[in-house]
A and B are shown apart, each in its own frame.
Chain A
């Protein structure tokens, strides 16, 4: 079965730097991949979706890349701020029917 790994359980960076989070999967490439943000005590909130035929997607300070050869997605937050501190989850849809499988998440802390 598909295994989804987010290689850092926790990541600390200095305010203003770029945070880079990694999501790797093991089996066949999904139809699309999504990134969500989760704050303590709250439900995940959608950030970005990238399809298998797209290399890169941007939204304000966020950028996602998708490399189906490496079976990897990178999630970047540029000019990071303390308010970006949260857990970030990647999720794969393998069937195109929104059957999402989530990674274990990376807890990002931006230090002022």
Chain B
């Protein structure tokens, strides 16, 4: 059984489009996260949600918006995509103050 799953695995789109990446965890964790890993493999946190409340919002453009319909899901919406948004996006989850479990990643390519 997959603990943290993301869809789609690959996403290729044109500049200016709006897209979403979905994430689901079946671990019963309290907190979910979104990370961006750039071409140099640097992994940087973007958001986290704890019990439907945003508790971290690093300096990411407001074109990126996390949406959590329930505790098991945290989706990432991106508006007006730019070339620089091309990266691998990872979803993760954890119990509070505990290790994080990562999803398989979504490779986003903006043309």
Contacts and interface: CB of A to CB of B under 8 A. Distances in A.
Interface of A: 34, 41-46, 49, 87, 89, 93, 96-102, 104-105
Contacts of A97: 55, 96-97
Contacts of B99: 34, 46, 49
Contact of B43 (A42, A44, A96): A44
Q: What DSSP secondary structure best describes chain B's contact surface?
A: strand
Contact of A42 (B42, B48, B97, B105): B105
B45 interface: yes
B43 A98 contact: no
B102 A105 contact: no
B44 to A, nearest CB: 7
Contacts of A89: 43
Contacts of A99: 45, 48, 56
Contacts of B100: 34, 44, 46, 98, 100
- Closest 7 A/B residue pairs (Cβ): A43-B102, A46-B99, A102-B43, A44-B102, A43-B90, A43-B105, A98-B97
Contact of A96 (B44, B97, B101): B97
A44 B100 CA distance: 9
Interface in B81-106: 90, 92, 94, 96-105
A100 to B, nearest CB: 6
B90 A105 contact: no
B21 to A, nearest CB: 13
A105 B104 CA distance: 18
A90 to B, nearest CB: 11
A61 B44 CA distance: 28
